[in-house]
Amino acid sequence: MTTRLGIFTRVLDYAPPAERYRNAVEQVQLAERLGFDAAWVAQHHFDGDEGGLPSPLVLLSHLAAVTERIRLGTAIITLPLENPVRVAEDASVLDVLSGGRLELGLGSGGTPKSFSAFGLDVADKHAVHAAHLDVLRGALAGGDLGHPHNQLYPPAPGLAQRLWQATFSAAGAERAGAAGDGLMLSRTQPRPAGAPDASLSEIQHPVIDAYLAALPTGVEPRILASRTLFVTEDRQRARVLAGAGLFRAVEKLRAIRHDLPIDDLDTVIRRTDSYVGTPDEVVELLRQDTALARATDVSFQVHSIDPPHEDVLRSVELIATEVAPALGWATRGPSAEIDPSAGAAPHAAAAPLATTASHSDASPFPGSAARADAAPLVSTAL
């Protein structure tokens, strides 16, 4: 499969919120300049050590204003904790502002303590998620919303074909496939009892199989594999930073059934599915990850290593210039011409951080063809 390259951030820096958000913007702008296809952000509530962004569509709206081509995705919105009509409205506005660049990733959520703040019992999350997803689909399709004269405005043509579902399980993948949605695979997940060293690919191949088997005839698969990847020219620095970050995360991961030691860095790196090292080292590790060969999309994040911002920027650059080419993953590059029909017309005087690559009708993402009404209303660069 053709692999589209993405950057993923949980907005985790050891810094105040304003600096975290500035860093995330800078990382996405760099990824766009280097030819990455997509930028994904996660949603987390209340715990700044777990994730720094409770409102992903707000940040993506800002990113729409300071980027030109790169697709903007949620990975994920915790749908049980949201009003699905409001999600549809905010998403449709963002899709117009961005020129049809939104990818809408959804899930039932993985942080149990967050649910009580929203008046929900975490035990009900799957049922609430299913009900909210039905409402969201109906809204995006232009259906009536409580009254014959209530329909989504602005309309969101194509956005329903850019829904993604995150899941750990084959059953969840089957539901995503049957709906024709994209499948989102986690960067790591707990191992079966008695098999702490099972590879992530061994766990995810059955999930992919279930998704593909359920996909309706004629619907193109969309499989996004997220992976933890930190690349640097200095192997020792990579290990020092990996140890600092991963050992901070060990207790939380152990609490969600990860079998991790507290004093063996190599084992922690392996069992958290973290790819750490020089470009040559991580290329070899990624080649061994056979689930990636079945993915249409891959997104790289630095969590739970969470190195300093400057190291993240260098890692993104090395992924684009050394790792991706070695694996046959082509980036779009910074020199292609913008297609004005896609709704991202070039500026008379583009700011230095603005890319000039196309995201028009040639876009490999479904439901994102150019529309006459899709010109971005905000498109200046920092």
Asked if pLDDT for residue 369 goes beyond 80, the answer is: no
Higher pLDDT, 133 or 246: 133
| Other CB atoms within 10 Å distance of the CB of residue 351 | 11
List the single range of 28-42, 61-75, 167-181, 333-347 with lowest mean pLDDT.
333-347
List, in sequence order, every residue forming a beta bridge with 39; answer none if it has no partner: 7, 72
Binning pLDDT at 50, 70 and 90, where does residue 115 land? very high
Binning pLDDT at 50, 70 and 90, where does residue 373 land? very low
Q: pTM of the entire structure?
A: 0.86
Arithmetic mean of pLDDT, 287-308: 95
Structural domains in the chain, sorted by start: 4-240+276-342 (3.20.20.30)
- Within 8 A by CB and 6+ apart from 93, the residues are 61, 154
| Other CB atoms within 10 Å distance of the CB of residue 348 | 5
List the single range of 24-28, 309-313, 333-337, 369-373 with lowest mean pLDDT.
369-373
- 3 state SS of 275: strand
- Rounded-to-integer distance, Cα 277 and Cα 242, Å: 9
Instruction: Decide if 92 contacts 156 (C-beta within 8 A).
Output: yes
CA atoms within 13 A on the CB side of 47: 13
SS3 sequence of 52-93: CCCCHHHHHHHHHHHCCCCEEEEEEEEHHHCCHHHHHHHHHH
Q: Tokens representing 375? A: 């010109």
Asked if pLDDT for residue 254 goes beyond 90, the answer is: no
List the single range of 304-308, 323-327, 378-382 with lowest mean pLDDT.
378-382
Binning pLDDT at 50, 70 and 90, where does residue 349 land? very low
Q: Give the per-residue pLDDT at 3.
A: 84
- Rounded-to-integer distance, Cα 198 and Cα 270, Å: 10
Q: Give the per-residue pLDDT at 348.
A: 30
